[in-house]
Amino acid sequence: MTHHGARALHLAGVGPGDRVAIYSANGAAAFAAVLATFRAGCVWLPVNTRNPSQENTEFLRKHECAALFFDRRFELDASLAADTLPSLKKFAALDDWTGQYLPGGHDGGREASPDVDINRGGDHVAIIKSTGGTTGKPKSVMITHRNMSAMIANFLALMPYSAPPVNLVAVPMTHGAGNIALALLAVGGTLVFLDRADPERILRAIESERVTTLFLPPTVIYALLARPDIRSYDYSSLRHLIYSAAPMSADKLREAIGVFGPVMTQAYGQTEAPLLCTFMSPQEHMLTDEAALKRRLTSCGRQTPFARVEILDEDGKLLNPNEVGEIVVRSDLVMAGYYDNAEENEKVSRFGWHHTGDVGLRDDDGYIYIVDRKKDMIISGGFNIYPSEIEQVLWSHPGVQDCAVIGVPDPKWGEAVMAIVELKPGVDADGIDLPQFCRQHLGSMKTPKKIEFWPELPRSPVGKVLKKDIRERFWQGQPRRV
């Protein structure tokens, strides 16, 4: 299947360095098309079908997409995009070449055309990904073959498998789940695909497919834990339930350990440095000292074998343990840069480090703790307030499903702390006193001045809470955004 896809690209004149997109939800044919793209020496443009159609079209046009394969469920959106792409040389449904070689029901010149297998050097771009855009306008990240090799080496060094793993790809393969699938395929893994992250289907698949490895963002894990039948399934095959993409509630993490067993695995990275800048193994989640465990579960782990992670101040000085600054990285994981964005490239690589935009510290044992995103920090009455600390407290309330804390305009304080809360099903907002709960744990300064209850928080296609969308509702029309 992969060979046929690479040959289809070759015969259409799509060659090394050309950009190829797959307009599809998760699926075996879509993943084979990604492998075909690499085999042909082309660059993969991941398209998340949950993004707005116009956003995907603009992404493909910006990067001069040369070939577009699509799942027939998305034929209309793919066709609308194709009509705007003057660079397009190949446009075909996935089943046209995965079923019977190529369109037309023949082998597309299989005898006349040798197998295509282009060897691209480590510094050549393999993938151009759009950032999630949770804190601002999305940027295009250029990931090289060297970046991917470093990510896979890191993954297999930290999570070795003595027998072929079974990986459930339940969230979009265009992001972290796809990276993990590539890493496990390298050791003969079996990939099981779900086209959407439906909690019941995930739990059933873990049991029926004997899944060993699964990646989920915290919001999906919260949805699993909220199910009344969560303890009715067999999770004995699981070895790693990897959580990443956003901070996770320490209390819900403890609950997950109680449900799934000693399998919770923390990975910290970003689109610009895929997946494994830091790592915390299942064993590191299992401390017997209660006070130490409570703190450890708020960590994102320690630097990985193929990454150097430090804390930097605003002047480029490396900070000592327990001092707060920006988390920075040097590694072969780090992207080649943002596509056609010299200004952002300069900002993100100051002082010879990749700047993550995350504020954090490292303790005496080498564990990294993310305090917050630099852009999320609230300055209220001259004091720096980190929303993640308040979110951890709100998450610990038994009635809270998820939350987001932001700063909103305030004539007295400049910014006031506000919490947007999504309650668990069946919980009545009138029956809980969240301000009092927060005051008990945080004191008056950090307690949200305002709390709103929303049926559902806005989330990106990969499950991240979109704070920029929430913030926009309250800052619209303001002359300043601080």
Most confident of 209-213, 286-290, 408-412: 209-213
Q: Check whether residue 399 and residue 347 sit in a common domain.
A: no
69 within some domain: yes
From CA 449, how far away is CA 470, in angstroms rounded? Answer: 16
Structural domain count, the chain: 3
133 within some domain: no
Q: Check whether residue 270 and residue 323 sit in a common domain.
A: yes
> In the structure, what pLDDT confidence band is assigned to residue 107 with cuts at 50, 70 and 90?
very low
Element spanning 390, H or E: helix 387-395
Q: Check whether residue 366 and residue 382 sit in a common domain.
A: no
Q: Check whether residue 434 and residue 387 sit in a common domain.
A: yes
Share of the chain above pLDDT 70, in %: 94
Residue 128 has pLDDT above 70, yes or no: yes
What is the average per-residue pLDDT within 17-28? 95
What is the average per-residue pLDDT within 309-313? 97
Rounded to two decimals, the pTM is 0.82
Q: Check whether residue 100 and residue 166 sit in a common domain.
A: no
114 within some domain: yes
> Mean of the per-residue pLDDT values for the chain?
89
> In the structure, what pLDDT confidence band is assigned to residue 479 with cuts at 50, 70 and 90?
low
Q: Check whether residue 399 and residue 457 sit in a common domain.
A: yes
Identify whether the C-beta of residue 220 lies closer than 8 Å to the C-beta of residue 244. no
- 322's CB contacts (< 8 A; 6+ apart) are 361, 362, 363, 364
CB atoms inside a 10 Å sphere around CB 50: 14
11 within some domain: yes
Residue type, 20: V
Q: Check whether residue 369 and residue 381 sit in a common domain.
A: no
317 within some domain: yes
CATH code where residue 156 lies? 3.40.50.12780
Q: Check whether residue 317 and residue 199 sit in a common domain.
A: yes
34 within some domain: yes
Q: Check whether residue 382 and residue 369 sit in a common domain.
A: no
Residue 112 has pLDDT above 60, yes or no: no
What is the average per-residue pLDDT within 183-190? 94
139 within some domain: no
CATH code where residue 11 lies? 3.40.50.980
Identify whether the C-beta of residue 330 lies closer than 8 Å to the C-beta of residue 150. no
> In the structure, what pLDDT confidence band is assigned to residue 97 with cuts at 50, 70 and 90?
low
Q: Check whether residue 15 and residue 110 sit in a common domain.
A: yes
129 within some domain: no
Q: What are 204-223's pLDDT values in tens digits? A: 999 999 999 999 988 899 89
Task: For residue 10, give its domain range.
Answer: 2-120
Identify whether the C-beta of residue 97 lies closer than 8 Å to the C-beta of residue 5. yes
Q: Check whether residue 369 and residue 400 sit in a common domain.
A: no
List the single range of 17-31, 116-130, 178-192, 390-404 with lowest mean pLDDT.
116-130
